[in-house]
Amino acid sequence: MFLSNPSFVLAIVATSSFFSLPSVVAEKEGNFYQYAGFVATTDVEDIAKKDLIQKEFESILKGDGTEDSLCDNLDAALDYYQNGEGKFLQDLPTYTDTKSRTWKINSAFYKDTDYFNSWVTAALTGEKFFNGAEQNNFKFDNFDIPCLGRQEATKKGSAFISGQLEVAQFMEEALQLVKDGCDDQHKSCSTAINAWNKAGAYFVGSLEGPRGVFTTFDDNGVEIDKKPYGKGIYGLGDKRCANFKTCGVNGDSGAKNLTAKTNIVIISLLAKGGRQVFAGDVNGLNKTIREIISQINVMTIQGSLRYGYRLGNKNKGGSDEGGTRKAKELAEGATFAAAAAPLLWACDIKAGEFVATQYQIAKKSIADKDQFDFNKVKLAFECNYKCLGISCSDVGVLFDGEPQQLAPGCTDLEECKKEKKKDKKKCKKFRKKPNKEEF
């Protein structure tokens, strides 16, 4: 699989120009802007800076940081989301003329075309989501600090569930323009290039800066500069890679000063897609979009597994002896799973439904009854990695800051080798009902 081949990734990076470009390069045709290595050839600063709205949204949710203010902060954030500048987040996606594969899959899975807004609004209000289905609500009745759980579901929902869709829709816009005969080799078509640049700008955001490096060290290894993670999907990739030791160009490090391999690959794919838009390559662009969405899915799977481990292992955030059951852990796991499960469902219906059910928040749900099965959730994903367009090495192994791995990793099948019978048998339950819908 080409995305899991470190040599191929190194080749992409070696031939890309993004490491040598300054943050802004003046050109006769305008200014080129760089976002964590992605070079936008049109001015999409207004899109990149939308992450400042997400930042303000999260600031309102946090308030003064005291537990007593958490529920009041949700009310203030709801007002910002519905009436203030945060309405931009409620009104996503920006492009709506046609639906991307991402939008179609999620809408079908949740039976709700407004699933992204439904999730965030319900987290803010505590009401039901996805068309009001009884099992879909944010009632953390038997968990600690319910309003903290709702906060986590809110901010991660707007950043990653809605954010994933916004990126997908900008790429869909570029694809449709190219399908309509738009290519810059033969006629002026800056709209398609601009739409593609918007996808890259929103994926990274303005807060990552031109290089997107989290921590800078001098020649002696002493830290000289450290910036917070950005608020977009790119920032999520760099957070999760440290948990799964998939940072760096080879995807084998947990160092926080290295970029996630997923981000390195996505930035390279964005550059490739830009050339395909320019050339009017519809088939190539379609494939590149699928590959970008697959790599974004790596991050949400990592998030699902990180918090799934904690839910399924009582000494890592669940209800240990004399301890408390953490609404925050369930909310984060559920939100990441809400982004990851639909694409899994598009591979196998039973696998996607199983994962979604495991992360339900409602009273008397599996997690509520302390019956969360981390090993089966992990297996449901792993058995369908090939269909998802990713690999075991893409996702990595969960360390989560510990010196030893917390859960065993899976092994990618060598090319030209058949899957072992025991592995086929193990995966039978999660490949039982392939989804035959055309998305």
pLDDT digits (tens, 9 = 90+) for 285-341: 999 999 999 999 999 999 999 999 999 986 444 444 434 689 999 999 999 999 999
The pLDDT, as a whole number, for residue 181 is: 85
Over residues 367-413, the pLDDT tens digits come to 988 899 999 999 999 999 999 999 999 999 999 999 999 999 899 88
What mean pLDDT is predicted for residues 81-109?
98
Nearest to 164 by CA among 61, 305, 172, 282: 172
pLDDT of 16 higher than 50: no
3-state secondary structure of 401: coil
| Percent of the chain topping pLDDT 70 | 87
Give the strand order in the sheet containing 24-27: 24-27, 30-35, 38-40
3-state secondary structure of 410: coil
3-state secondary structure of 215: strand
User: Are the C-beta atoms of 358 and 349 separated by less than 8 Å?
Assistant: no
CA-CA distances (angstroms) from residue 253 to 1, 211, 249, 258, 374? 21, 19, 9, 8, 24
User: Are the C-beta atoms of 147 and 70 separated by less than 8 Å?
Assistant: yes
Output the six-digit token pair for 410. 């899976």
Q: Which amino acid is at 293?
A: I
Spatial distance between the Cα atoms of 301 and 336, rounded to a whole number of angstroms: 7
The pLDDT, as a whole number, for residue 220 is: 77
The pLDDT, as a whole number, for residue 309 is: 96
Peptide bond into 93 cis (omega under 30): yes
Q: What is the pTM of this model?
A: 0.90
Of residues 105 and 215, the one with the higher pLDDT is 105
Q: Cα dihedral sign for 127, 332, 358, 390?
A: positive
3-state secondary structure of 324: coil
User: How many alpha carbons fall within 13 Å on the CB side of residue 190?
Assistant: 7
Cβ burial of 68 (10 Å; 0-12, 13-18, 19+) is exposed
Q: b vs e for 122-136, b when ≥16 Cβ sit within 10 Å of the residue's Cβ?
A: bbbeeebbbeeeeeb
What mean pLDDT is predicted for residues 238-243?
96
Kind plus residue range of the DSSP H or E element containing 32: strand 30-35
